[in-house]
Amino acid sequence: MAVACLLVPRFPLACELVERPDLRERPAVVTRPDGPLVWAASPAAERSGVVAGQRLREALVRCPLLAVIEARPARYQAVVEAILDALERVAPAVEPGPQGTAYADLRGLGGCYGSPEALAAALLGAAPRELGPRLGIAPSKFAALVAAHHAMPAETCVLNEEAVAPFLVRQPVELLQLPAETLRRLRLLGIETLGRLAALPRSAVAAQLGAEGGRAWDLARGEDREPLRPRPWHERVVERLAFAPPLASREAVLVAAEQALSRALRQPAVRGRAVRQVTLRVATERGGRWERTLTFREALCERARLWLVVKTALAEAQLPGMVSELELELSGLTAERGRQAALLSAHGRLQEQLEESLRQLKARYGHCPVGRVVEVEPWSRIPERRLALIDFDL
Amino acid sequence: MEPDPRTAAGAHRLRPLNEPVRLRRTEVETGAGGAPRAVVLRGRRHTVASVDETWRVDDEWWRSTAGGPLSRQYFRLVLEDGRAVTVYRDLVEGGWWMQRY
């Protein structure tokens, strides 16, 4: 057994239902942040004919009592990051999948947890129980994903090498995560299970569906050679402040942010290093979230310059309510301790002084005694023709 | 009376760098094949540790005025003290010249 897949089905909806448990038994959908489309639908909504990807208007026609929840992508991403961080404390190599899934490489972990059951429990514990996580363990990523779909909430489904192919035969083609149009074509062709797809010649599937069809055929037969790609580790420094009562004025938020920045810069990991990115996250008392990532063209190590950027971002921010929590993250930490400036930089007092000096010299001697080396014929085989000295002229 | 401080208008001067310096006959010792094996710089003899490169230039054959046609045999030398110099033998006049690089 090599790969585990931790799955939270209907992830955006699962995140919302944690805070709105009253909607668990009702038909409900979460709409996509980029338009009036269904992102995730509850089982009750699906029984009424509502499916993910459907237009909201059509969904409401099919289910007039549908509860519509507006998406909060920043909230979902925060939950994803928390789950991935928790998974990395169990297994060092973790790959984030499509939202709601994560893969972990289990090689070498057998001796760390005493038993496979203990390891599975540790993996399941990475996600909050209220989200209804499921775990699949199999020799490959796709097989682990299918096993996770088959598992019950808070349970594990384990497939060994020999069991993968027979298990996949009865699984629906929707698990292949193909585009909606491709799935529609497969259904029109009467191919509804992975077994029916695998029974066709590979060349025929590839001819109909292209390269993605060929890969789907391989997966349907349990042949998944895609390696697990662990997410890169980025060194980060995070400072978090909670406020009780929540902050109502922008000035108070700015004071808090400045304090968070000062504390973050004092952390040993940042000392003597420059910062390339700052992420600000704000949570309001009613569950609203705001997030902004600021990336600098060149890494900054001066506190004053960092604060200027953070202050400007917060001053212009449209915060969704009274602030109950502020988080400031410094990332992209470099090994630079300063900046190498140019001798003749285009800006600054030094440039002005130099120009003035050259003007005076030119006036005094009738020509500029300061020269500049220029390439004339760098390719020449006659050395004295390659370079020449020219009057320095700003 | 102060001279007119204003400079005359005109194109920037272009001054060549790495101008060759003529060596006296006694300042170059040649070996087999005509390659230098020692040079005398500022009164001190330096043995040539290696000849990095050698090339010949024949150019500007159309010139008949000052400067004349160009015919030189170049040697890029590394001296015993690690310095790299370029010397060439003027095949028209027969003299040796040295350049810093």
Residue finishing a domain among A141, A159, A177: A159
What band does A60 get if pLDDT is binned at 50, 70 and 90? very high
Q: Is B101 on the interface with A (CB under 8 A)?
A: yes
Q: In the beta sheet, which residues pair with residue A283?
A: A289, A325
Domain for residue A336, yes or no? Answer: no
Contact partners, residue B47, CB within 8 Å, separation at least 6 = B37, B38, B79, B80
Domain for residue A339, yes or no? Answer: no
Task: Give the E-state strand segments of A231-274 in sequence order.
Answer: 236-247
In angstroms, the Cα distances linking A256 to A59, A235, A302, A328 are: 44, 23, 19, 10
The C-alpha atoms of residue A54 and residue A29 are separated, in whole angstroms, by 11
Domain for residue A226, yes or no? Answer: no
Same domain, A60 and A173: no
Q: Which of A230, A245, A212 is nearest to A84 (CA)?
A: A230
The structure tokens listed for B30 are 């040649």
Residues A163 and A169 sit within 8 Å (Cβ to Cβ): no
- For testing contact with chain A, the best of B12, B21, B101 (most A CBs within 10 A): B12
The reported pTM is 0.58
What band does A337 get if pLDDT is binned at 50, 70 and 90? low
Contacts of A393 in chain B (CB under 8 A): 12
User: Does residue A77 register a pLDDT over 50?
Assistant: yes
Count of domains forming chain A: 4
pLDDT of residue A146: 94
In angstroms, the Cα distances linking A354 to A349, B7, B8 are: 9, 19, 22
pLDDT of residue B41: 87
Residues A124 and A139 sit within 8 Å (Cβ to Cβ): no
Count of domains forming chain B: 1
Element housing A68 (H / E): strand A67-70
pLDDT in tens, A281-325: 998 887 778 889 998 878 888 889 999 999 999 888 888 888 888
- How high does pLDDT run on average in chain A? 87
Exposed e or buried b for every residue in B38-48, given b needs 16+ CB within 10 A?
Answer: bbeeeeeebeb
Whether B70 sits inside 8 A of A364 (CB atoms) is no
Q: Cα A319 to chain center, whole Å?
A: 22
The structure tokens listed for A391 are 């009057």
Q: Which residue has the higher pLDDT, A191 or B65?
A: A191
Whether B18 sits inside 8 A of A389 (CB atoms) is no
Q: Is A236 on the interface with B (CB under 8 A)?
A: no
Range of the domain at A367: 349-391
Tell the residue number behind the tokens 């992420």, with chain if given: A279
In angstroms, the Cα distances linking B8 to A360, A369, A391, B69 are: 15, 15, 14, 35
What band does A151 get if pLDDT is binned at 50, 70 and 90? very high
pLDDT of residue B11: 46
Domain for residue B37, yes or no? Answer: yes
Domain for residue B44, yes or no? Answer: yes
Same domain, A313 and A354: no
Same domain, A247 and A310: yes
The C-alpha atoms of residue A255 and residue A263 are separated, in whole angstroms, by 12
Task: Using CA coordinates, name the residue in chain B closest to A362.
Answer: B7
Same domain, A50 and A177: no
pLDDT of residue B37: 92
Q: In the beta sheet, which residues pair with residue A262?
A: none
pLDDT in tens, A364-387: 887 778 888 888 888 888 888 888
Return the axis-axis angle of helices A250-266 and A303-316, rounded to nearest 10°: 150
**Distance of residue A378 Cα from the nearest chain B Cα, in angstroms:** 12
Contacts of B70 in chain A (CB under 8 A): 382
For residue A268, cis peptide bond before it (omega within 30 degrees of 0)? no
Same domain, A214 and A242: no
Residues B86 and B99 sit within 8 Å (Cβ to Cβ): yes
Same domain, A314 and A200: no
The C-alpha atoms of residue B54 and residue B88 are separated, in whole angstroms, by 9
Nearest to A390 among B14, B55, B59 (CB): B14
Whether A381 sits inside 8 A of B101 (CB atoms) is no
Q: Is B42 on the interface with A (CB under 8 A)?
A: no
pLDDT of residue B7: 45
Contacts of A383 in chain B (CB under 8 A): 18, 74, 86, 99, 101
Same domain, A149 and A273: no
Nearest to A393 among B12, B20, B72 (CB): B12
Task: Using CA coordinates, name the residue in chain A closest to B19.
Answer: A384
**Distance of residue A341 Cα from the nearest chain B Cα, in angstroms:** 28
Residues A247 and A241 sit within 8 Å (Cβ to Cβ): no
What band does B33 get if pLDDT is binned at 50, 70 and 90? confident
**Distance of residue B45 Cα from the nearest chain A Cα, in angstroms:** 24
Long-range CB pairs of B25-29, under 8 A, 24+ apart, other chains included: B25/B95, B25/B96, B27/B96, B28/B87, B28/B96
Instruction: Supply the CATH number for residue A317's domain.
Output: 3.30.1490.100
In angstroms, the Cα distances linking B97 to A14, A112, A306, A357, B16 are: 85, 77, 59, 38, 16
Q: Is B95 on the interface with A (CB under 8 A)?
A: no
